[in-house]
Amino acid sequence: MSKNSVQIVSRNTLQNELFISFLEKETGLEISSCPTLGDLPNIEEGSDSKQLILFDCMGLELDQLWTKFGVGTNLNPARTFTALFNVERGTRIERESVERSVRGVFYLNEPLEIFSKGIQSIFRGELWYSRRTVSKLLLESRSSLKSAARAAVPLTARERQILVEISSGAPNQEIADDLFISLHTVKTHIYNIYKKINVSNRLQATLWVAKYL
């Protein structure tokens, strides 16, 4: 039987105890903590369980963060997700997080309720970035895009519209409501979009948008 879990990577013991108690109650998941990524327990062989690693960014400069983030890890991306918390706004972490396939970012002093919602969304296969952040990244990237690469993918205007909605984190039903089309039509568009841009999930589609659209 699979059992999803959350690993909190942080040295703040008191915060961890309170954090774990709250998240276990709100999410029903198995939650524990360890001081470094190198101390993470291995997922049992043959298990189909998935784990989310919440990495504490408190007090880390950007270069320090990515150095620590990359040390001692040998993670299976199909079964292990990563997210950052205690992130200070305006530190350019968001762009690098997307490029490094980090599933979400939780900001410093965010309400605890946000964590339970975000964790559950990530386990559903969604990204946890604010709409404002995603929109900003898309706008910043447009000036440096290669028009030849865009032209090679024959997306329709509607497909581009839906692709941007996907990259902003909108679920299928919300896209359908926003565009006044059926859920079935949205799913058909997404299937065609993925085929055209050669991706298989929302994270890959978001990375494609950040680079090409």
pLDDT of residue 43: 58
pLDDT of residue 146: 53
Express as a percent the part of the chain with pLDDT over 70: 83
pLDDT tens digits, one per residue of 11-29: 777 777 888 999 999 999 9
Here the tokens at position 112 are 């605890």
For residue 77, CA distances in Å to 80, 126, 128 come to 5, 14, 16
Here the tokens at position 171 are 């679920």
For residue 141, CA distances in Å to 17, 34, 49, 134, 138 come to 40, 36, 36, 11, 5
Is 96 a residue whose pLDDT tops 90?
no
Is 168 a residue whose pLDDT tops 60?
yes
What is the pTM assigned to this prediction? 0.64
Domains in the chain with CATH codes:
5-129 (3.40.50.2300), 143-212 (1.10.10.10)
* Bigger pLDDT: 17 vs 39: 17
The DSSP-derived string for 49-97 is --EEEEEE-TT--HHHHHHHHTTT----TTTEEEEEEEEPTTSSHHHHH
Burial string for 43-53 (b: 16+ CB within 10 Å, else e) reads beeeeeebbbb
The values of phi and psi at residue 87, to 5°, are: -85, 130
pLDDT tens digits, one per residue of 188-210: 999 999 999 888 888 889 888 87
Is 145 a residue whose pLDDT tops 60?
no
